[in-house]
Amino acid sequence: MSISLFLEQVLNGLQFGVMLFLMSAGLTLVFGVMGLINLAHGSLYMIGAFAAAAIASWTGSFWLGLVASLMAAAIAGVIVEIVIIRRLYKRDHLDQVLATFALILLFSEAMRWIFGAFPLFLDVPEILSGTLSLPLGIEYSKYRMMIIVVGILIAVGLFSLISKTRLGVRIRAGESDREMIAALGVDISKLYTLVFALGAALAGLAGAMVGAIQSVEVGMGEPVLILAFVVIVIGGIGSIKGALVGAILVGLTDTLGRFLLPSFFKIFLNPSSATDIGSALSSMMIYILMAAVLIWKPSGLFGNNAK
């Protein structure tokens, strides 16, 4: 194994992690501020991807598709928040789980109803197709590079939004003390709608960006949803920083595990059983990571309060 192959895999892990961060940021914000477990977050990811595919094939422009994904997911988020989610904030976590589970069924079938049972087409734009030559002879996909850059920009944007703006002050206040923020005269229901829409838009954007290199199909959101939950739990629920660290950790563990474990077992096992054991173990890797983190730190890496 060469150094450049290893570095390329690190980049792949980073790209996967950054994508997971976009998904988990909204999830962790919504939980931190409103105390809501939203299983339907994966559906917003799917809606973003479908909107991007539909608009991109209609207008021929990938970039308009990206804009559409942000808007469609945000609009869907606002509607869902006002019609349903809003009634769940004061409820038990279990009611939230049931209602948002029902939303998954509803959204998935609605997409199938509208777009049919077959996957949709969404491709990367011409300008980003092909590879980039990096030092050490690494050929890396331009599009994946863009995902890394966009992800980092959004992470920076989110941090400054939360630490420097008035909206951020309110969000942080909402996380620590909900009564106080209402007493300050902040229109709390507007704030909630806004936070929910922001999280939804990020999920939709992630769906569109990933849809271009994977597939746009019904049910695409569920595996990602599980991973996003893994991420926010590892990072500590409610913490944006935790979501970022957790996402990168999960991305690297999964990618490097898939790549290194089979070769590792080949050192002392015959190739076919090494492939068997290595592949089986690598599919369990992130769950092992999560269990280990939680046994070591029961409320995640950056979680201060075990809710």
Partner 1 sequence: MRILLTALNMFWEEQKVKKLISMFALSAVIALPVFADDHKAKVGMITTLSGGGSGLGIDVRDGFLLALKGNNDIEVVIEDDQRKPDIAVQLADKMIQSEKVDILTGIIWSNLAMAVVPAAVNQGKIYLSPNAGPSALAGAGCHKNYFNVAWQNDNLHEAAGGYANSEGYKNSFIMAPNYPAGKDALTGYKRFYEGELAGEIYTKLGQKDYAAEIAQIRASGADSVFFFLPGGMGIGFMKQFAQSGIDLPVVGPAFSFDQGILQAVGAAAMGVKNTSQWSKDLDNDANVKFVADFQAEYGRLPSLYASQGYDTANLLASALKTTSVNDQDAFRKALKKADFASTRGSFSFDTNNHPIQDIYVREVIKEGDIFTNKIVATGLKDRSNAYVSECKM
Partner 2 sequence: MIKENYFNIICIILLLSVPFLGLILDEPYYITLATKVVILAIAGAGLNLVLGYGGFVSFGHAAFFGIGGYVSGILASHALNYYPIIEWPFIIEGTTQMLIILPLAMLISGGFAFLIGMLCLRTSGVYFIMITLAFAQMVYYFAISWPAYGGEDGLSVYLRNNFPGLNTMDGFSFFSICFVLLIFVLFIISRIVNSNFGLALQSAKQNPERVAAVGIEPIKVQLIAFVISGAITGLAGALYTDLNRFVSPSVLSWHTSGEIMVFVILGGTARLFGPLVGAALFIILEQFLGGITENWQFWLGFILIIVVLFAKGGIIGMIAKERRNG
- Residue closer to partner 1, measured from CB, 214 or 299: 214
- Beta bridge mates, 140: 132
CA dihedral over 103, 90, 196, 41, signed as positive or negative: negative
Question: What track of x and - describes contact with partner 1 for positions 261 through 280 (by CB under 8 A)?
Answer: -x--------x---xx--xx
For residue 141, give the DSSP letter.
E
From the list partner 2, partner 1, none, partner contacted by residue 183 (C-beta under 5 to 8 A by kind): none
Contact 303, 236 (CB under 8 A): yes
Q: What is the DSSP string of 36-77?
A: ---TTHHHHHHHHHHHHHHHHHHHS-HHHHHHHHHHHHHHHH
- Residue closer to partner 2, measured from CB, 50 or 143: 50
Which range binds partner 1 by CB under 8 A, 74-82, 85-93, 174-182, 211-219?
Answer: 211-219
From the list partner 1, partner 2, none, partner contacted by residue 42 (C-beta under 5 to 8 A by kind): none
Q: Does residue number 276 form part of the binding site for partner 2 (CB under 8 A)?
A: yes
Contacts of 272 by beta carbon, 8 Å cutoff, 6+ apart: none
Q: Does residue number 299 form part of the binding site for partner 1 (CB under 8 A)?
A: no
Contact 158, 244 (CB under 8 A): no
Which range binds partner 1 by CB under 8 A, 26-34, 88-96, 255-263, 296-304?
Answer: 255-263
- Which 3-state string (H, E, C) describes 185-253? CCCHHHHHHHHHHHHHHHHHHHHHHHHCCCCECCCCHHHHHHHHHHHHHHHCCCCHHHHHHHHHHHHHH
Helix, strand, coil % in the chain, rounded to nearest 5: 80, 5, 20
Residue of 54, 80, 103, 120 interacting with partner 1 (CB under 8 A)? 120
Q: How far apart are CA 185 and CA 192, in angstroms?
A: 14
CA proximity to 193, closest of 71, 81, 29 = 81
Minimum CB distance to partner 1, residue 232 (Å) = 20
Task: Enumerate residues 137-176 that contact partner 1 by CB under 8 A.
Answer: 139, 141, 143-144
From the list partner 1, partner 2, none, partner contacted by residue 306 (C-beta under 5 to 8 A by kind): partner 2
Q: Does residue number 9 form part of the binding site for partner 1 (CB under 8 A)?
A: yes
From the list partner 1, partner 2, none, partner contacted by residue 275 (C-beta under 5 to 8 A by kind): partner 1
Residue of 20, 49, 237, 240 interacting with partner 2 (CB under 8 A)? 237
Residue of 22, 216, 233, 248 interacting with partner 2 (CB under 8 A)? 233
For residue 266, give the DSSP letter.
H
Task: Enumerate residues 14-73 that contact partner 1 by CB under 8 A.
Answer: 15-16
Q: What is the DSSP string of 102-130?
A: HHHHHHHHHHHHHH-SSPBP----GGG-S
| Residues engaged in binding partner 1 (CB under 8 A) | 1-2, 5, 8-9, 12-13, 15-16, 108-109, 112, 117-121, 123-124, 129-131, 139, 141, 143-144, 210, 212-220, 223, 255-256, 258-259, 262, 271, 275-276, 279-280, 282-283
